Structure 1
Amino acid sequence: MPNQDYPGVCMSCSTKACQVVAPDIEAVRERVKHDPITGYTKNVVNNLTTAMGDKFADEYEAYLAFDVVKAAIVMGLKNGQKIDLGGLGEFNVETVNGQKTVTFQPAPSLNAILKE
Structure 2
Amino acid sequence: MSLLDTNKKRVNRRKFRVRNKVRRVSFDRMRLCVCRSLKHISIQLIDDSKHMTVASASSVGMEMPEKVSGKIELAKLVGKDLAKKASELSVGPVFFDRGKYKYHGRVRALAEGLREGGLEF
TM superposition score category, shorter chain reference? 0.3 to 0.5
> Please, what TM-score do these two structures have when normalized by structure 1?
0.33
Higher Rg of the two aligned structures: 1
> Please, what TM-score do these two structures have when normalized by structure 2?
0.32
RCO comparison, higher one (Cα < 8 Å, 6+): 2
The answer to which structure has the higher strand fraction is: 2
